[in-house]
Structure 1
Amino acid sequence: MFFDRCFLLVKFSTLDDSHGIFYADGNNDYVEYKKGKEKINDVDKLQLAAQAICLEKMYQIHIEESYLYYFSTNNRILVSLTD
């Protein structure tokens, strides 16, 4: 997925649209699946934000929050994308 205004290229390993990524009311979110465990830094959250920017621009939607799911810990973390 490529957004040319920011020269941003992202690749989705899996895009989970079970929460309704194309809802017209703006209630859109998605899940980014990770094999490892949570990182101490914000690198996964930054990747999630970059993916959200591309999705918003390509599909003319708004994403306020998303999730990081870590398989090794079976933990799902809510990430706010409004700041």
Structure 2
Amino acid sequence: MIDPIAISALQHWSYCPRQAALIHLDDVWSDNPFTMRGNILHERVDQPGSDLRGDIRVERALPLFSRRLNLSGRADAVEFHQDGRIVPVEYKSGRRKARAADDLQLCAQALCLEEMFGCSVPEGAIFHAPDRRRRPVVFTAALRATVGRTVADIAAMLASRTLPPPVYDARCKDCSLLHLCLPELPARPADLFTPAPEAACASF
């Protein structure tokens, strides 16, 4: 079995499979104004700890895992309500996007929480910093199924060590990896990762 898949990989894959592969297969990362804005926001919310808000206990930077899905990561915040409800909350520095990448990431967190605590987690929330408002997200059967398919796709990519071909479209201008991905160029043989033979390595 491959190492646990980072929950954040689902958000990256939903946005662009090639971006996800560059980050989680090739360990490539670069910041731009959008990612830096997100980093600043998460510096404030990613400090581990807990506090009480009335009768709600809030755990921050809570480690998450799912053996069934082979996922690991952490939640920005998880609310534990007195009536037994568990509500994951994800913080985003931007407004709601047309794609469901953020919802997919949050649903993966919910599936981890269900496995960890043995209870149902039917919905969560995303806090969009520009609007300073929480947006509820219901974890429908369709969204849960999409999480499963996405995890399977990522696992296949990691197992094959194959970098998906570039797709040059409107997403690229906002991607911090644009200058590393070079999507305007055709797919190259180097996109298929082939480790050096052991004999060749031993000769150095």
Q: RCO (CA 8 Å, sep 6+): is it higher in 1 or 2?
A: 1
Matched residue, 1:37: 95
Distance 1:21 1:50 in 2: 23
Unaligned residue ranges in structure 1 (runs of 5+): none
Percent same amino acid at aligned positions? 31
> Which residue number in structure 2 is paired with residue 5 of structure 1?
68
CA 1:22 to 1:30, structure 2 compared with 1: closer, same or farther past 3 Å? farther
Matches within 5 A, 1:22-61: 23=84, 27-61=85-119
Q: Residues of 2 paired with 1:63 and 1:33: CA distance? A: 18
| C-alpha spacing 1:43/1:21, structure 2 compared with 1 (3 Å) | farther
- Residues 9-24 of structure 1: matches in 2 within 5 Å? 9-12=72-75, 14-17=76-79, 20=81, 23=84
Q: TM-score, normalised by structure 2?
A: 0.35
What SS does the corresponding residue of 2:87 show, helix, strand or coil?
coil
Paired with 2:74 and 2:82, the residues of 1 have a C-alpha distance of: 17
Structure 2: stretches of 5+ with no match in the other structure? 1-63, 142-204
Residue 21 of structure 1 deviates from its aligned partner by 7.9
Q: Does 1:62 align with 2:120?
A: yes
Partners in 2 of 1:45 and 1:21 — Cα distance?
25
Q: How many residues get paired? A: 78
Give the CA RMSD over aligned residues.
2.0
> Which residue pairs with 1:73 in the alignment?
131
TM normalised by structure 1 equals: 0.78
**Residues 88 and 109, structure 2, Cα contact 8 Å, conserved in 1:** no
Q: Structure 1 or 2: larger helix share?
A: 2
| Distance of aligned partners of 1:77 and 1:29 in 2 relative to their CA distance in 1, 3 Å threshold | same
